[in-house]
Amino acid sequence: MVTPEEALPGRDTPLPVVTDNVVLHHRQVPPFPEGLEVAVVAMGCFWGPERVFWNTPGVWSTSVGYTGGHTRNPTYEEVCSGLTGHTEAVQVVYDPKVVTYKDLLKTFWEGHDPTQGMRQGNDLGTQYRSGLYYLNDTQKAEAEESLKAYQQSLTKAGYGQITTEIAAAGPWYYAEDYHQQYLHKVPNGYCGMGGTGVSCPIGLGVSEG
């Protein structure tokens, strides 16, 4: 992982991005309607995960971007160089009265293999690492609890240790417009998502031992 001192400096001006999600026809940039909440997740290449979440009932809008690194307003090419520290991520705007953060965590864990470190399938690099970036203490607690629960299920299934980064959400940098809702714009585009096939026991509690 690149250090803050080694990271590219970036720029002060954000990358241009259109206001609305072209699939859900709601805003993908703030402000969002009162009562909605935001989750930030990273599951490898962000094209496939965004499609999973825009198809999730209760999700109001989605966008893809970069988080967890050091470079200000990075470009896709800079992130892919490994010199920004960012990972490709999805910002999910959702209605907690319809879908809870725990529900989204279940989708997160089951949608990729969180034991692969700095990769996801054939995609290799720090920008493809798994991550949960919490925006409040409740999200932090639920993310940590879900990791413990899913680790038990993965261990029983013969998988190794989860390498998912759980950290406070830092600055969110929107990816270039052509990445937003990419698999809607390019239906046959690349999607490297692949889960473990292990069900996540969200809501069932964590057994001892």
155 sits in which H/E element: helix 137-156
Beta-strand (E) ranges in 33-103? 37-43, 59-67, 87-94
- The amino acid occupying position 62 is T
Angle at 127 between CA 121 and CA 129, to 5 degrees: 55
Q: How many CA atoms lie within 13 A of 107 on its CB side?
A: 24
Residue positions annotated with a catalytic role: 45
| SS3 (DSSP) at 27 | strand
Task: Give the separation between CA 107 and CA 167, rounded to whole angstroms.
Answer: 19
Residue with token string 């992982």? 1
- The amino acid occupying position 140 is K
- The amino acid occupying position 205 is G
At 172, give phi and psi (nearest 5°).
-105, 125
Task: Give the separation between CA 5 and CA 25, rounded to whole angstroms.
Answer: 40
Task: Give the separation between CA 71 and CA 66, rounded to whole angstroms.
Answer: 10
